[in-house]
Amino acid sequence: MKTFFIMLLLAFIPVFITSLLFFVFILELMDLFSNLWRYLAHDAAIPGILTVSLLYLPKCISYALPISLLFSVSYTLGNLYMNNELIAMFAAGVSLYRLVIPFLLIGLISSIGIFFFDNFVVIDTFRQKNQFFRTLVQMSVSYSNTNVTVMSSDTRVIYQCDYYNNKKETLTKVTLFIRDEDFNFKLRIDADWAEWQDNHWVFHNSRIIEWNSTHTQLTHRQVKRLDSPELNEKPSTFRKTTRRIEEMKYDEALRWVQSLKKAGLSYRQALTEYYKKFFLALNPFIVTLISAGIGSAFKKNILLMHLLTALIVSVVYYVAQMITLILSKGGYIPPLAGAGSSFILFLAVGIFMFRRART
């Protein structure tokens, strides 16, 4: 049995390395040509373009690994089927289930490895790649925001403004609802604008609505300048959300989701992307299981057919994942279901195909 395993690995490893290099090259070319017009428009230097491609390399490896496993495992098994080499193994009493154990172990180890590789290598290099690319093509990012609603960390103060100017750190047309310790209405502030000074907000041309001393009637008063150190929600809270979960490590992404919750901002999309990071790490194992099932599907043109099969299965899988993610971000299904339903579906498909494979 050990000899069989060694023979399988010797047939698998060259195909896997070749396919990994091929798919990485394709992904690099896709990124290059999709941004070629930006490079030409800004006269980007060749060393800068090569730096972007180099920083994108770990991300390409992360993307290409599942597709490469899918192709190389199915091609290796298909080639053995075509040459009738597996017939001798089956005649010797070696079942397909025992035969693919090395491949399943490789898929499992790849899933564990890609989990840590993404967290400790891909995240940093991908973030650097995006930052360097924006600098290279002179792409500016605006953090100013419109129609902003923010809740303070203690959930007692709710801010709403028509416009937040990030450069000047000002709010325009501001409304505040402030609650007491029992979370009952305390007062409302309407201001023409507010500015960030000395680590708190200063409101101009304000109208304050609050209870009288007996809490029996609402009173109104005008304040030209309202300086309240208690209203100290940081300007960064009002910024347009431009941070991307895929550029954050796992612990950083979790803190970001929690901060969105505390601020009263929409967090479904961020939470879905956070769960997605974990399920993406399981892709190598899933595709290995699927490829073990389709390895015996073709006896002619196995190189072309297994390459096409790998691409088709990958496209279908990622399209299904995209659909469930959209449903989750739209609030139709829970974030966990949006991130994991495509994984569970293809896991079931992989098990079904594996059980139906010719032995």
Q: Within a domain: residue 6?
A: yes
pLDDT at 295 over 70: no
Q: Within a domain: residue 244?
A: no
Query: Out of 51-55, 101-105, 264-268, 302-306, which region has the weakest mean confidence (pLDDT)?
Result: 302-306
Do 56 and 127 fall within a single domain? yes
Q: Within a domain: residue 15?
A: yes
Q: Within a domain: residue 247?
A: no
Q: Within a domain: residue 209?
A: yes
Q: What angle do CA 49, 53, 315 make, to 5 degrees?
A: 130
Question: Model-level pTM greater than 0.85?
Answer: no
Do 318 and 212 fall within a single domain? no
Mean pLDDT computed over every residue of the chain: 85
Query: Out of 123-132, 155-164, 200-209, 212-221, which region has the weakest mean confidence (pLDDT)?
Result: 212-221
Do 6 and 132 fall within a single domain? yes
Q: Within a domain: residue 255?
A: no
Q: Pick the last residue of a domain from 200, 223, 238.
A: 238
The predicted-structure confidence for 228-252, as pLDDT tens digits, reads as follows 888 988 888 888 766 778 888 889 8
State the pLDDT at residue 328: 87
State the pLDDT at residue 56: 96
Do 15 and 127 fall within a single domain? yes
Do 275 and 218 fall within a single domain? no
More confident residue, 124 or 330: 124
State the pLDDT at residue 242: 61
Distance, CA of 343 to CA of 106 (rounded, Å): 18
Q: Within a domain: residue 334?
A: yes
The predicted-structure confidence for 254-283, as pLDDT tens digits, reads as follows 888 887 777 666 788 889 989 999 998 998
The predicted-structure confidence for 66-122, as pLDDT tens digits, reads as follows 989 988 888 888 777 777 776 777 666 667 777 788 888 999 999 999 999 999 999
Do 134 and 149 fall within a single domain? no
The predicted-structure confidence for 19-40, as pLDDT tens digits, reads as follows 999 999 999 999 999 999 999 9
| Contact yes or no for 222/207 (Cβ under 8 A) | yes
Do 278 and 343 fall within a single domain? yes
| Contact yes or no for 20/61 (Cβ under 8 A) | yes
pLDDT at 193 over 90: yes
- Mean pLDDT for 333-345 is 89
pLDDT at 359 over 60: no
Q: Within a domain: residue 251?
A: no
Do 205 and 322 fall within a single domain? no
The predicted-structure confidence for 140-153, as pLDDT tens digits, reads as follows 777 788 888 888 87
Do 114 and 170 fall within a single domain? no
Tokens in use for 249? 């490590």
Do 161 and 200 fall within a single domain? yes
Do 22 and 117 fall within a single domain? yes
Q: In what order do the strands lie in the sheet with 170-179?
A: 145-151, 157-165, 170-179, 185-197, 200-211, 218-227
- Domains contained in the chain, number: 2
Range of the domain at 105: 2-138+267-356
Q: Pick the last residue of a domain from 238, 256, 279.
A: 238
Do 134 and 11 fall within a single domain? yes
State the pLDDT at residue 225: 92
